[in-house]
Amino acid sequence: MAEQIQITADSTCDLSPELIKQHHIQILPLYIVKGEESLKDGVEIVPQDIYDYFDKTGNVTKTAAASVEDYRNLFAPLVEQGKTVIHVNISHGFSSCYQNACLAAEEFENVYVVDSMNLSTGSGHIVLKAAELAEQGLSAKEVVDTVTALVPKVEASFVIDTLTYLHKGGRCSSVAALGANLLKLKPCIEVADGLMHVGKKFRGALLKCMEEYVTLRLKDREDIDYSRIFITHTSCPREIVDRVRQLVEQYGRFQEIIETVAGCTITSHCGPHTLGVLFLRK
């Protein structure tokens, strides 16, 4: 009897509902803390609720990891159905989710946990590839080995329009936030070695900054895997997303360009009008 593989992932992978349904991926939500409420990302709260809460109160939501019990409850029924589970986590450098998933997985024989060393559709690349490989009939070990080798090849970055949410959430000093806002600076956040680092700071109107950012990431590169790219954003204006797509098509021969809207975890930290292009290197 062929091995039945079930791909699962954290809600932070930011894949669209259509992709999740198409590839039968099971999603475990992280938690969004809004005042005294702890709500499941994408189930009990959506990004617009976060913007509304900020506009109404001046406060930002916070995020919390899924617990060991949450992962145990995810894995147990799947294993009981005779399935082998491959779970892809947000980087251990951003959350205790990976550690909690590993602790839960120790209780089962057929559960593999993969640290994506990334977030948002940086993780989404790994999740989607795992699902495709499983559909092709590879064994669980082959899927895990293949996607683990892909992890360091993911290039994830995004440009933040405002540092207000990061500052309110305690992840950016008031001086840095004020200075950036006064100078109209829009920092590029890059993911490397499972952690976030500040890269180039763009200056000026949002459209101009996004054009410079995409050009910098994609133009005249010879190390890009052109099979797939994600354009992932938090409620960016349509004209900016369309312009980014034009530039992606101009600078790369991508076989697949997927646009996704980031979920509540990324929105809580980055706020509106954040956008990134996320792809694989050769």
| Whole-number pLDDT of residue 183 | 52
Amino acid letter, residue 12: T
Q: Cα–Cα distance between 79 and 67 in angstroms, integer?
A: 19
Eight-state DSSP code of residue 11 = G
Q: Please determine, for residue 44, whether its predicted confidence score (pLDDT) is greater than 80.
A: yes
How large a percentage of the chain has pLDDT more than 70?
92
Describe the chain by its helix, strand, coil percentages, rounded to 5. Answer: 45, 30, 30
Burial class of residue 155, CB neighbours in 10 A (0-12, 13-18, 19+): buried
All domains in the chain, ordered by first residue: 5-30+65-151 (3.40.50.10170), 156-281 (3.30.1180.10)
**Which tokens belong to 261?**
């809207």
Instruction: Rounding to the nearest 10 degrees, give the CA dihedral for residues 205, 207, 211, 217.
Output: 90
Q: For residue 199, which of 211, 213, 219 has the smallest C-alpha distance?
A: 213
Q: For residue 7, which of 107, 136, 195 has the smallest C-alpha distance?
A: 136
Q: Cα–Cα distance between 183 and 62 in angstroms, integer?
A: 27
Q: Please determine, for residue 181, whether its predicted confidence score (pLDDT) is greater than 70.
A: no
- Residue 195 pLDDT grade (very low, low, confident, very high; cuts 50, 70, 90): confident
Burial class of residue 93, CB neighbours in 10 A (0-12, 13-18, 19+): middle
Sequence-ordered list of residues with C-beta below 8 angstroms from that of 131, at least 6 positions apart, any chain: 7, 23, 24, 25
Q: Please determine, for residue 221, whether its predicted confidence score (pLDDT) is greater than 80.
A: yes
The alpha helices in 106-172, defined as continuous H runs, are: 120-135, 140-150, 164-168
CA angle 265, 270, 272 (to 5 degrees): 105
- Residue 199 pLDDT grade (very low, low, confident, very high; cuts 50, 70, 90): confident
Q: Could you report the per-residue pLDDT of 70-95, keeping only the tens digit for each? A: 999 999 999 999 999 999 999 999 89
Give me the sign of the Cα torsion angle 156, 121, 163, 240. positive
Q: Could you report the per-residue pLDDT of 87-116, keeping only the tens digit for each? A: 999 999 989 999 999 999 999 999 999 999
Give me the DSSP letters along 163-217: SHHHHHTTSS-HHHHHHHHHTTEEEEEEEETTEEEEEEEEES-HHHHHHHHHHHH
- Residue 179 pLDDT grade (very low, low, confident, very high; cuts 50, 70, 90): very low
Give me the DSSP letters along 242-256: HHHHHHHHHH---S-
Distances in Å between the Cα of 134 and the Cα atoms of 25, 68, 188, 213, 249 are: 11, 25, 34, 34, 29
| Whole-number pLDDT of residue 170 | 47
Distances in Å between the Cα of 13 and the Cα atoms of 29, 37, 87, 218, 220 are: 10, 23, 11, 22, 28
**Which tokens belong to 194?**
């499972």
Q: Please determine, for residue 244, whether its predicted confidence score (pLDDT) is greater than 90.
A: yes
